[in-house]
A and B are shown apart, each in its own frame.
Chain A
Amino acid sequence: MKSEILYPGAFPMVRVELAAGENIKAESGAMVACSPTIDIESKMEGGFLGALSRKFLTGEKFFFQTLRASRGPGEALLAPTVPGEIAILELDGVNEYMVQKDGFLAGADTILIESQMQSMSRGLLGGEGFFILKISGKGMLVLNSFGAIHKIELKPNQEYIVDNSHLVAWSTTTSYNIEKATSGWVASFTSGEGFVCRFRGPGLVYIQSRNPGSFGAWIRQFIPVSE
């Protein structure tokens, strides 16, 4: 399985080359084009209940699609819905990532995707909802973001503060606390930051350069109101 990012920037695609018999799973609707040797199957990862819980709890799509090179080698082009960069990570079996609900684009068949419940404070204030995806296993993981993806590398005990709605994915070896952005409650909200996440290393934190919620609020003012 080989993969490369085409047109890096705001509107990228991923090209994945599959050898005969290989398959990858992708977010449903991610396939843009593919060779005729590739079959598209829809699959409920983790069984029906797993799919149901992912749908209702994380807001992720109910089905993943599986692209299988069942009739010989071929390639598939995949793209996310929103404009933004794509990052390809290689999981080695010990690295695990927490991924916020819209961050998953595709992954090798050998990676494991679970929905996981967060603690109450992170769920309420973290900005990713109560349930997020935990991705482990071995193989390729493709993340997508809104805006550009930026990687923050944290050494043991190194700290970094991230606005909660800019999170894409983070290693499970990191930990974070939710804090007010400034010391006062009023200033916290008037500064426009509200709550932030104080991450502590070691590990990686992937963030996106745009905030989908704020963008939605900004664009709403231009949508004509219809009765």
Chain B
Amino acid sequence: MTPNALCFGEEFPASGAACLVHVEEHGLTVTFAADTANAQPESVPFSNLTVSAGGIDHDHLVVKWKSVQGERTLYLKNPDVIRAFREAVPDHLDLPLAQVAERVRQVRHRRRLVWGIVGGAILSSVLGLWLGADLLVDIAVSRIPVEWEHKLGESAYRDFLSHQEVVKEGSGVVAVEEMTHRLTEQILNNPYNFQVTVVRSDIVNAFALPGGFVVVFTGLMKKAESGEEVAGVLSHELNHVLQRHGLERIVKNLGLLTVMAIVFGNQQGLVGVMKQLGVELLTLKFGREQETEADLTGLQLLQRAKIDPSGMIRFFERLSEKDEGRMEWLSTHPMSAARAERLKVELAALPKTLPEPFTFDWKQVQVSLRSQPVTVP
């Protein structure tokens, strides 16, 4: 015999007695497993039964009756038995059965509804965060005072320079100072005190830290064919600072990691992130949108400073040519022909102004850069 239901009653174990239920024309026949103590097969007419829903998920059909041995409770789960039972029962049980079915449906429906609502709420808040992230970052960045930004950038800047050979004098430094002056003059309401440092290195690169600390490598100056080209790069970097791109990246990184730390309950991770910040600054990569923004605002700044903006475009174009060897500026500033093209279009749209040349002779500056002896510290 393969049991298909559990029967509960006073003399049965608490886990229930396994039994075989047959649905017949006038009622149920319940046959108990052979090892069930003193339980005889029972025949119960439908008229004695009451039905309800039960079990952990309200998916059992519970049938109760009073037998000579006491109260019996039968838990049915087998769908075939339940179907047979529904088909065979007389009219007086139809209504209670329909109520049971309705209750099971309600429980399932409510559960699906709750899961749907919670799932939807989670999904929409994730989506909201995703879409609103930029806005949140902007708000967060705008609340950070310039002094904090200055301190943050300064410590990373000092740290970086302590390992580098800084070029303190010479025509190269004078030339860069002139460019910086011409550019910063044209910035309205400038909250930053820009410090541009020339560092001796063959790396073709320049970078900006939050707070107005800019580093130009001599490698980049040697590569450039005119002062306007270097001024173009400088203008781009100054605009990273002015648009507070570094801070935006930090807040974004910090925000994501903070959320993760909170979600996973890892407070130590958060401390680690704070410690990492200094290192983070130097390895900071700007996003494509930030690069484009710095390009465009850089171009406008060049225009206002009356420095020929085509130098910037020319330099970008030359860097994007393949056989230029290993260039750091390319790795941190992904170059594409489209980028130079976009700048050309922007430039065409700007009103034409007559550029004023620099006071230095770029060829002489480059000669002095090459001739300066490498001092061994």
Contact = CB atoms under 8 A, between A and B. Distances in A.
Contact of A95 (B15, B71, B73): B15
B278 interface: no
B18 A95 contact: yes
A120 B111 CA distance: 7
A93 B2 contact: yes
A156 B73 contact: yes
A92 interface: yes
Interface string A122-165: 00000000000000000000000000000001111000000000
Interface string A166-180: 000011111110000
A93 B6 CA distance: 10
A57 B6 CA distance: 30
Nearest to B72: A156
A204 B114 contact: no
Nearest to A151: B14
Interface stretch (B50-58, B183-191, B226-234, B289-297): B50-58
A223 to B, nearest CB: 13
A93 B115 contact: no
A117 B115 CA distance: 10
Contacts of A120: 111, 114-115, 118
A119 to B, nearest CB: 5
A202 interface: yes
A137 B132 CA distance: 50
Contacts of A174: 55-56
Given A119-B111, A120-B114, A173-B75, A94 B56 contact: no
A13 interface: no
A95 B114 CA distance: 29
Contacts, number: 72
A203 interface: yes
Contact of A175 (B6, B18, B55, B71): B55
A207 interface: no
A170 B15 CA distance: 10
B15 A171 contact: yes
B3 A173 contact: no
Given A95-B6, A95-B15, A172 B71 contact: no
A203 B57 contact: no
A202 B18 contact: no
A98 interface: yes
A201 interface: yes
A64 B33 CA distance: 33
Contacts of B77: 94, 96, 172
Nearest to A92: B18
A94 B6 contact: yes
Contacts of A172: 55-57, 60, 77
B206 interface: no
Interface in B1-29: 2-6, 8, 10, 13-16, 18
A155 B64 CA distance: 13
B60 A203 contact: no
B2 A203 contact: no
Contacts of A202: 8, 14, 16, 73, 75
Nearest to B118: A120
A169 to B, nearest CB: 11
Given A120-B118, A156-B71, A93 B56 contact: no
24 contacts: A92-B33, A93-B3, A94-B4, A94-B16, A94-B77, A117-B115, A119-B111, A120-B111, A154-B14, A170-B56, A171-B15, A171-B16, A171-B56, A172-B57, A172-B60, A172-B77, A173-B16, A174-B56, A202-B8, A202-B14, A202-B16, A203-B14, A203-B15, A204-B15
Interface of B: 2-6, 8, 10, 13-16, 18, 33, 54-58, 60, 71, 73, 75, 77, 111, 114-115, 118
Interface of A: 92-96, 98, 117, 119-120, 153-156, 170-176, 201-204
